[in-house]
Amino acid sequence: MSSSISLHFDVSGDDFTRAGEASTQVKKTLKKIGYDSDAIRRVAIAMYEGEINMVIHAGGGTADVEIYPDRVDIVLTDEGPGIEDVEKAMTAGFSTAPDNVRSLGFGAGMGLPNIEKYTDSMRIETEIGVGTKMFLSVNAGGSNS
């Protein structure tokens, strides 16, 4: 057995009331193992934003989390429409979220910028009409924010 903990979550789409459950679960696990509290906060926020994105734009997806003693890797996979212009999507305030989502206080165009802010590395693979895969990594102890 390797010295890591693997967690897998199905993030259901269009059900806002359940969005954020996966990141809450990861936070619980990290707290139990006494993880670096700054890293827990950054993982929780980045993953929450990613989860919300999948619910808003892609009709859900999956989240795979790998916890190492010094690092947390998160892979968010969806089969949504893909991101047309990643660079533009990374701009603070840019959003393609529909009005009904905005009225709930989401879709302010801070999702991806926040994910970048709170993680130590972030990589996006996306293809129009196929889906998006996001690779996130947060280091314990070595903060970037």
Assess contact for 92 and 64: CB atoms under 8 A: no
Closest distance of CB 8 from another protein, Å:
11
Q: Which stretch binds another protein (CB under 8 A): 10-18, 32-40, 93-101, 129-137?
A: 32-40
Choice between 12 and 29, CB closer to another protein? 29
The answer to whether the CB of 19 falls within 8 A of the CB of 63 is no
The answer to the question of residue 45 lying near another protein (CB under 8 A) is: yes
What residues line the site for another protein (CB under 8 A)?
1, 3-5, 23-24, 27, 29, 31-35, 37-38, 41, 44-45, 48, 67, 69
